[in-house]
Amino acid sequence: DADVTQTPRNRITKTGKRIMLECSQTKGHDRMYWYRQDPGLGLRLIYYSFDVKDINKGEISDGYSVSRQAQAKFSLSLESAIPNQTALYFCATSDQRTGRSYNEQFFGPGTRLTVL
Amino acid sequence: ELKVEQNPLFLSMQEGKNYTIYCNYSTTSDRLYWYRQDPGKSLESLFVLLSNGAVKQEGRLMASLDTKARLSTLHITAAVHDLSATYFCAVDFMDSNYQLIWGAGTKLIIKP
């Protein structure tokens, strides 16, 4: 089944450590996204990528960086983690290859990150 | 400013009752999405609404879109416990470069 996977699923780390969250998809979609979710705040977009060479900042990119290693892989890094980056992180994909005019997104299972 | 507002943010109801969740948005769009999230789980796409007057139904859930009022509703008919979840609406605006702008979510608890 075509899918979106994230690793790790859970991570506890300490302030100042570098962390990488990885996302892979077998859907063949061109667009990929990283979101964070905090209780009561809905989803906030960190970065998004339309293809391997096109990466864009979202609403809350400060303190984060990304890499689109291939069409199917999109990783999120926290260069120096801080406690207020404790959150649930989701990767998502969407398919605009055929010029589709809408942006239905498909989500991975999430990574729960705790920064102590 | 591109904004999406849901209400209520929390809803507790009895099984068998009907209720509606509202999603208002700030400026022109004809593309609206509803998602479901179970506690600690991922988001699942429920409905994609792409035109004024669009109505989609799946089981006890029905979603509609009124682009003139900038309003979408998610109606729950004869609620059952299994529908307990958090429901999000999201809108993509012409000015948002295909980014989705999300509501804060409505946490729905259905008591047996």
Rounded Cα distance, A96 and A107, in Å: 16
List CB contacts (< 8 A) between A42 and chain B: 88, 102-105
What is the pLDDT confidence band of residue A98, given thresholds at 50, 70 and 90? confident
Rg value, chain B, Cα? 13
Between chains, do A103 and B100 touch, taking CB under 8 Å as contact? yes
> What is the per-residue pLDDT across A5-32, written as a single tens digit (0 to 9) for each?
999 999 999 999 999 999 999 999 999 9
Residues of A with CB under 8 A from a CB of B: 31, 40-45, 48, 56, 58, 90, 92, 94, 96, 101-110
What is the pLDDT confidence band of residue B28, given thresholds at 50, 70 and 90? confident
Q: How far apart are the first and last CA of chain B?
A: 41
Cα A73–chain centre separation: 10
What is the pLDDT confidence band of residue A1, given thresholds at 50, 70 and 90? low
Checking if the pLDDT of B22 tops 80, the result is: yes
Closest CB from B44, B88, B92 relative to A103? B92
DSSP class per residue in A40-105: TS-EEEEEEEEETTEEEE-TT-TT-EEEEEETTEEEEEESS--GGG-EEEEEEEE--TT--S----
Q: What pLDDT does residue A85 have?
A: 97
φ/ψ (deg, to 5) at B83: -85, -5
> What is the per-residue pLDDT across B40-55, written as a single tens digit (0 to 9) for each?
899 999 999 998 889 9
Checking if the pLDDT of B29 tops 70, the result is: yes
> What is the per-residue pLDDT across B54-107, written as a single tens digit (0 to 9) for each?
999 999 999 999 999 999 999 999 999 999 999 999 998 776 666 899 999 999
Q: Which of B38, B23, B22, B41 is nearest to B100 (CA)?
A: B23
The amino acid occupying position A9 is R
Cα A78–chain centre separation: 11
Between chains, do B31 and A102 touch, taking CB under 8 Å as contact? yes
List CB contacts (< 8 A) between A94 and chain B: 98
> What is the per-residue pLDDT across A50-82, written as a single tens digit (0 to 9) for each?
999 999 999 899 999 999 999 999 999 999 999
Q: What pLDDT does residue A102 have?
A: 79
CB pairs under 8 A between A and B: 51
Closest CB from A41, A101, A107 relative to B43? A107
Checking if the pLDDT of B1 tops 90, the result is: no
List CB contacts (< 8 A) between B102 and chain A: 42-44
Tell me the residues of chain B between 30 and 49 that have a Cβ less than 8 Å away from chain A: 31, 33, 41-45, 48
Q: What pLDDT does residue A39 have?
A: 81
Tell me the pLDDT of chain B averaged across its residues: 92
- A37 close to A5: Cβ distance less than 8 angstroms: no
Checking if the pLDDT of A41 tops 80, the result is: no
